[in-house]
Amino acid sequence: MIEGVGLLVVIVIVSIIGLWFLFYFIPVGLWFQAIVSGTYVSIIELFVMRFRKVPPGLIVNAMISAKKAGITISSNELEAHFLAGGHVQNVVNALISADKANIPLDFNMATAIDLAGRNVFEAVTMSVNPKVIDTPPVTAVAKDGIQLIAKARVTVRANINQLVGGAGEDTILARVGEGIVTSIGSAESHKSVLENPDSISKVVLTRGLDSGTAFEILSIDIADVDIGKNIGAELQMDQAEADKNIAQAKAEERRAMAVAEEQEMKAKAQEARAKVIEAEAQIPMAMAEAFRSGNLGVMDYYKLKNIQADTEMRDSIAKPPEKPSSNPGNRKK
């Protein structure tokens, strides 16, 4: 009796496991759901999906959603996109949204956009509801040297035909920033920019900044314009400081040259004085030679000495008298 009950329990457990495996590999519920929803998927296809590691529930639900929206998509197309690494539900949702918004988008284009790494459903949503992008502060300098800091808001919508291979938001921001810098830099005065900030957006819009991007620029609105530094005055001050340093360097160079020339002249003067002393040292020797040779007599020598004495006396008379020292300590008592 006990053995019979145990055998019955084993049979029940094995039956439950067998049924679970049967319904797992053959999802009869999904097959019935697809038939009721008007979407035909053979039970063999659902069975094969398990071996391909494709979730049948994802494929069947996507087919049902597309069928209810009036879009026909085969299970093979959805399976191929899933196996390629795509997002099946995003593609189906994008096709449904594009169809309701009268946006031309077919399955091949949607899958290509999805496989390119972009969110195709978000792109379709952005085409219906444009997105506003706030640019970071853009700094530019007008011709009068005044720095202006501008912030802009760029309204864009997705360009479905350029989503594959088109540039992203960073390119839009870079081009808008470049346009703002060009517009402010071409202004004669910063006051004209402050008076008419819309002139910036008009110039930027005419440049075709959305070319080659995945977006279409609808409008560019200048949100704020602030005054920054006086770059022109700072540059002039820097130039004046540089000119002053150059002038100082040239003056120092001239002073060094003058000092060197002065030292050279002193050296030449000392050299000449040395030559004079050397010549004076040779006079006694010349006189002695003259005495020995008889060219100079004793009387001639005394006349020469008298002339020297007279010359020294005249020099002493011509010199001004020395002033007495004002220090009482130097006076003789």
Q: Kindly report the CATH number assigned to the domain that includes residue 225.
A: 3.30.479.30
117 and 146 co-located in one domain: no
pLDDT, tens digit, 9 for 90 and up, residues 152-190 = 888 888 888 777 778 888 888 888 888 888 888 888 888
Residue 297 covered by a domain: no
Establish if 324 belongs to a structural domain: no
pLDDT at 47 over 80: no
Greater model confidence, 101 or 322 = 101
DSSP letter, residue 329: G
Contacts of 237 (CB under 8 A, 6+ apart): none
Domain end call among 167, 198, 231: 231
Tens digits of per-residue pLDDT, 103-143? 888 888 888 888 888 888 888 888 888 888 888 898 888 88
Burial class (CB in 10 A: 0-12, 13-18, 19+), 265: exposed
139: nearest Cα among 150, 152, 124: 150
Q: What is the pTM of this model?
A: 0.56
C-alpha distances out from residue 136 to 22, 139, 302, Å: 59, 10, 107
Q: What is the pLDDT of residue 74?
A: 83
Asked if residue 174 and residue 87 are part of one domain, the reply reads no
Q: How many residues does the chain have?
A: 333
Asked if residue 89 has pLDDT above 80, the reply is yes
Which tens digits make up the pLDDT trace of 90-109? Answer: 888 888 888 888 888 888 88
Residue ending a domain, among 106, 128, 150, is: 128
Cβ within 8 Å of residue 91, ≥6 positions away: 81, 107, 110, 111, 114, 120, 121
Domains in the chain, number: 2
Burial class (CB in 10 A: 0-12, 13-18, 19+), 27: buried
How many angstroms separate the CA atoms of 180 and 224, rounded?
12
Let me know whether 183 and 69 are in one domain.
no
Indicate the residue among 109, 128, 147 that finishes a domain: 128
299 is written with which tokens? 């009387």
Give Cβ neighbours of residue 221 (< 8 Å, ≥ 6 apart): 152, 153, 155, 201
Q: Which residues contact 187 (CB under 8 A, 6 or more apart)?
A: 142, 143, 193, 199
What does the pLDDT look like over 6-15, one tens digit per residue? Answer: 666 666 666 6
Q: How confident is the model at residue 31 (pLDDT cuts 50, 70, 90)?
A: low
Coil, strand or helix: which one is 186? coil
In the prediction, which pLDDT does 294 show?
74
Any domain includes 332: no
Domain span at 217? 132-231
What pLDDT is recorded for position 333? 41
> What pLDDT score does 235 carry?
80
Q: Are residues 203 and 219 both part of a single domain?
A: yes
Q: Is residue 138 part of a domain?
A: yes
Quote the tokens at residue 131.
């997105």
- Could you list the beta-strand ranges (E) of 24-178: 131-134, 138-141, 146-158
